[in-house]
């Protein structure tokens, strides 16, 4: 898949991309999952109307 020798620029680029992806995932888990809109979407039960606060059936 990769040649045995990669240039230092390529190695640095790969490391930077991996770190950015890892940081984005950690940020999403720590910050994104705690936002009101994200948690609200997960906790609305089926048939529940969040606008009126009543069950539809």
What angle is formed at CA 56 by the lines to CA 55 and CA 57, rounded to 5 degrees? 95
Residue 40 is classified by DSSP as H
Pairing between strand 48-49 and 54-55?
antiparallel
* pLDDT averaged per 10 residues in sequence order, the chain, 57 residues: 79 95 88 56 67 72
The pLDDT of residue 51: 75
Q: How far is CA 55 from CA 46, 50, 51, in A?
A: 9, 9, 11
The pLDDT of residue 30: 80
């Amino acid at each position: 898949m990769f040649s045995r020798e990669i240039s230092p620029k390529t190695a640095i680029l790969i490391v930077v991309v991996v770190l950015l992806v890892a940081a984005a995932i950690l940020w999403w888990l720590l910050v994104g999952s705690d936002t009101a809109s994200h948690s609200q979407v997960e906790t609305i039960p089926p048939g529940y109307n969040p606008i009126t606060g009543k069950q539809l059936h």
